[in-house]
Structure 1
């Protein structure tokens, strides 16, 4: 609000004709960048329970932008869209079909980040985009994506942003029986359970110190080391799972806050994936080079900064061009 007010006071807003919004959840219907008209926004509000810490805020920002820029096109760019073309078997759960048909499926997230990395891999390697690649988006939220020629094949996040890897304050994948136990025997309320799983778990919960990887790496507390070990262990296990989905591994990419800036964590993950042919050069990794694999590594290991804003900009341009074509 403060930024928008300053821009309005300086008469800069009138120059803006298009606004791109990162929206975490697009559900099953929004699989590409979409103009945010009334019916679309109403449909996206219905998805708020599926992304409770993200969706409402995303849509509030859309409303704010529409207020300050009533003539500009508002375009939604969805974190779930990149994963929408995965095989159906990669999306469904072992639940009754009627529940699947209501939308209880795996959606996957961090899609704008993965879209950018796929584009970078195409620039580097051509249409094959690094072949069978696993991209590790490791930040406060963390996930992995298996790509074949730049297309999502499988990913660690599923129905919600709680799934998969241990994260900064989120639990990652849990046995569903734990949830039942916490509700029935622990007598946790709905709100207490949400707070526990989203805000009090992950690296923070395991270490009892912090959800910030930098703090944990700098700590001598054994609990901090255990939290890091769990983070790496779960990533190593999931890399094996995704490599199985791909039928092998040609490229491993690290991105996002931890992936781009924590050589110690990259090296430990590389060691965990050594059986797949991953070999990380200690000195290249320490310096944070773009290519950190050993000369004889059978897997190319890269560090590529993510740029979700660039991915949004590309989506907005494509959606605007499509809208112009429909209008002619």
Structure 2
């Protein structure tokens, strides 16, 4: 085809069902190369340009940004990566919208006397919400110099997975949880409760053992069994004993019971975490209390 027998910019726009402005925009960006110039210096396009323009429109219909369209046109093998990235962005936007909807319903369903307080809680949390403040809370709460892999494991088990489609009650629980972990705590140097140090000795040995004990106790809690002596309790007590480089004896158990009763507590954190997740799985806080009660009941039975 000679340049004068090819399509002008207006003819290409008409065949594609778009405006001349659209064709010129993509041409100027280099997405729609012209095949030639007419004798008068006007752009001319061949049939390949129509196919390319249809592809561009399809990609733009999916709301792909122009830079991503350029990547796809330059290298066909990037289409899968671009689509995957776009899906992640859309998923994040949908999650944000669901949280916004639940937050709006939370405000709609409460009385005027509660609305201002709830609005302050909601306004302090990003959308979609981030669990980074919760992770930071635990990194401050845990004893210093724990191995990184142990800190990561504890944070993973202690920071709740947020629902993608929350209820208004879950939004309220998370905003209260966020307020709890970010509020200053008077009398502590780092603005948070003192680190849990029951047992003394080696914190790494203690927390390694606690993770194992919680895993052993979890099936009992899921089954609704009351606190009881057994492997989980023995593992729990052993963690404290080994961290102090001592033996698990009746005397040690009595001392540990009193020490645990004096531990700093964050029951509010675990209560709100359970509300946020609405999961049947027990939180570490609930599991810890179950084991403490099992220890106290065993000691009471022994004394009796």
TM over 0.5: no
Structure with greater strand percent: 1
Give the TM-score, by structure 1 length. 0.27
Q: Find the structure with the greater CA-based Rg.
A: 2
